[in-house]
Chains A and B, each alone.
Chain A
Amino acid sequence: MIKSVAEMTKGEKGKVITIHGGKGKILRLAEMGITPGEELILIQKSLGPVIVRVKDVNLALGKGLAESIFVEVEENGKNQN
């Protein structure tokens, strides 16, 4: 299932599929380690910002960024929709 990082639950793993936004923003994320194909884990959710782990590094992402990164998460035995 594909969803944005903002919709992930705590502890969930996902593989980055696409990132929406301008070139500058996408490049900035890539430089910090978030590139398509990379796996990330959601470590913490706050009132908007989230923390993800990617390439051994924990990154804090603002709400807007979290909403623009889309990941493919594994369905663990739940009903598909």
Chain B
Amino acid sequence: MEKIKIEVGLVGNPNVGKSTVFNQLTGLNQHTGNWPGKTVEKKVGYIEKGKYLIEITDLPGIYSLTANSIEEIISREYIVKEKPHLVLLIIDASAIERNLYLLSQLLELTSNIIIGLNMIDILQSKKYKLDIKKLEERLGLPIVPMVATKNIGLRELVDKIIEIFEKDNLNPKRVNYGDLENDLQEIEKYLPDRIENYPRRWIALKLLEGDTITIDICRNNLENWLQLKEIIERKENNPIRVASARYSWIKKILEGTLERPKKQAISWTEKIDEILTHPILGSIFAVIIISLIFYLTFSINDIFSSLLESLLDQIGKVLLNLLNFLPPWWKSFLVNGVWQGVSTLLSFIPLITVFFFFLALLEDTGYLARLAFIADRLMHILGLHGKSLIPLVISFGCNVPGVMATRTLEDEKDRVLLIILDSFIPCVPRILVASFFLSIFFPDKAFILLLSLYFISFISIFISGKILRRKVLKTSLTPLLMELPIYKFPNPKIIMIYVWEKLKSFLIRAGTVMVILSGITWILSHFPTDSIENSVLASIGKFSLLFLKPLGFNWELATGLISGFIAKEASLSTLGAIYGASGNKLGEILLGNITPITAFTFIVFQLLYIPCAATVATIYKETRSIKWTLFSIFYSLSYAYIFTLFLNQVLSLFWR
């Protein structure tokens, strides 16, 4: 029998336990995607109960419904355009006053709201008394008390969803805006009942708040817009009047409903924060934690990845035997091209699992926000947010998890910026290639030059951050404004689902792109004949000399760079294949063929020029935008070119 579908939109402030509720309700029965055209993640999950199929759409965590952020726009458009049967609002009971602010705005869009009053345990430990019955009456909305982490109240929540769906008679109390009611009525006179699905009163409020999108809609739809504009702009402080009116309404609702103890007990969180957010102690602790995570991630990864690699090699050999019936070209294409791509992809599994395990731990305990607070000042020097620290640090090991970790940044533009900047961080394979060249050309200056590479990478991030922010993204660095959630014990189930989600989306979404890219590169390097000197790849290398000649590169180096796109270390093996030598032999040949200046230019170029295929695939997965993916390639290529051209000139002048 076809089930009856109930569509539910899940809404709430960040850190209220929304994901916990979502995961507890839907388990692994969920799909992840992106909102159409946005880099914001969209999750949909399902619950089956009796004759109903409940479809839950997890909306981004938000504080408000203004046009300030993409997350807020997505949420409000979802509510008025998709018209879910119910909106499930999760509220943190221990910070109910601030949480009800979002409700006051939701009420202007829809009446069909259920409140999941979460974190009742925290409320109790703070010795707050909340009269839930009274609150229900005053709001005219059903409230289900919950402790999502302990699975308390979730069954009742599902029952409530079905009950409300069947009755369909919610009639919540309207928000009273006090002094502002007169202004609202005056504005509403100019408005039709609805504009583009938004109710009249909502529009009036958003106009007073100075909501840019709403103003545009009205300008385009209303004939008497100019008169309306005058009314709205009569008072300079209208936005803050609206916010204050909402909070006064909330204060009235909570009067006699919520009782705070006179003297508040000092909570665990405060005691821990005394140290962890302390300017000195906190910084020391942060350095220890980050180093530990970096060290553990890559050493645990080493253990597993060598095991995995030999396993994958074995499979490759078996495949080679199995495919014996194919013509050699096809066989080689499938095994050395396609399978190689697949196994490179699979070899990321340990790294991603381990790193995101730690990141989930940081996030779930609440420490990640403190880290951002501590790092904020430092990151400002680079023109970035405190939250950029972890993605940047992990990129030193590998850019792939670095790009994926940018998800912890809320603002879309900040995220895109960081994704592009991440690829200027020299990951381990790039440093390996660099070290090889340094040890051959500058054996006694290798270390200091290696350090200079890190310096170049910082300079590049600094310059590019400034350029991209101003010219491309057109945003300024918004100052830090972030809620610090209370500390919690990590929840194993949440961490497991988090890691699994990351891994799954990486394998599926980045995987396809990667396999295709490595297939193409294989064909390019083995076509028309099997030898690399005559391949299309080499022709491209020779052609690119048009541009690369001024850097002093020969076609061999250029070809090496192109194959370095698949994996940075591949540029060495390609050079080896071209020159027919490896290790010290290759070193000697290179010494005879290129000048030290060219060698150093090459090192810097390969450091900056392009993210590797796996990173490009991940950039695509994270941004879901071909435009941004191509832009990131284009930008790093042009930046690397201009930078090294300049460097090359300077070196030629001064380096004797």
Contact = CB atoms under 8 A, between A and B. Distances in A.
B59 to A, nearest CB: 16
A57 B269 CA distance: 12
Q: Say what secondary structure dominates the interface of chain B.
A: helix
B383 interface: no
A58 B269 CA distance: 10
A78 interface: no
B117 to A, nearest CB: 14
B51 to A, nearest CB: 40
B270 interface: yes
Contact of B377 (A37, A49, A59): A49
B243 A30 contact: yes
B576 interface: no
B209 A32 contact: no
B376 A62 contact: yes
A32 B240 contact: no
A31 B101 contact: yes
A77 interface: no
A59 B14 CA distance: 13
B353 interface: no
A58 B66 CA distance: 22
B575 interface: no
Contact of B273 (A31, A36, A44, A65): A44
Contact of B243 (A31, A47, A55): A31
Contacts of B274: 44
Nearest to A66: B479
B277 A27 contact: no
A39 B243 CA distance: 16
Contact of B66 (A29, A31, A64): A31
A31 B64 contact: yes
A79 to B, nearest CB: 29
Given A27-B210, A48-B376, A51-B273, A60 B369 contact: yes
A59 B480 CA distance: 10
Q: Is the interface of A mostly helix, strand, loop or mixed?
A: mixed
A68 to B, nearest CB: 9
Which of B240, B269, B279, B372 has the most chain A CB atoms inside 10 A of its CB?
B240
Interface string B57-95: 000000110101000000000000000000000000011
B98 A35 contact: no
A61 interface: yes
A46 B277 CA distance: 8
Contacts of B374: 46
A56 interface: yes
A27 B246 CA distance: 12
Interface string B222-246: 0000000000000000011001100
B247 interface: yes
Nearest to B15: A57
Contacts of B243: 27, 30-31, 35
Contact of A35 (B64, B244, B278): B244
A31 B239 CA distance: 11
A28 interface: yes
A45 interface: yes
Interface in B479-496: 479-484
Contacts of A23: 210, 239
A28 B68 contact: yes
B498 interface: no
B522 interface: no
B373 interface: yes
B66 to A, nearest CB: 7
Given A27-B209, A56-B97, A35 B240 contact: yes
A57 B373 contact: no
A26 B64 CA distance: 13
A54 B478 CA distance: 21
Interface string B362-392: 0000000100111011001000001000000
Given A44-B278, A56-B94, A64 B273 contact: no
A61 B480 contact: yes
A37 B247 CA distance: 11
Contact of A64 (B240, B247, B479): B479
A57 B95 contact: yes
A65 B244 contact: no
Most chain A beta-carbon contacts within 10 A, residue among B68, B274, B373 = B373
Given A46-B377, A58-B484, A60-B484, 9 more contacts: A19-B240, A27-B240, A30-B239, A31-B101, A49-B373, A51-B277, A55-B98, A60-B483, A61-B480
Interface of A: 19, 23-24, 26-33, 35-38, 43-49, 51, 55-65
16 contacts: A24-B210, A26-B239, A26-B240, A27-B239, A28-B68, A33-B98, A35-B243, A36-B240, A43-B270, A47-B279, A49-B386, A55-B95, A56-B97, A59-B483, A60-B483, A63-B479
The 9 closest A-B pairs by CB, nearest first: A62-B479, A62-B480, A30-B243, A31-B64, A58-B484, A64-B479, A33-B98, A56-B95, A55-B98
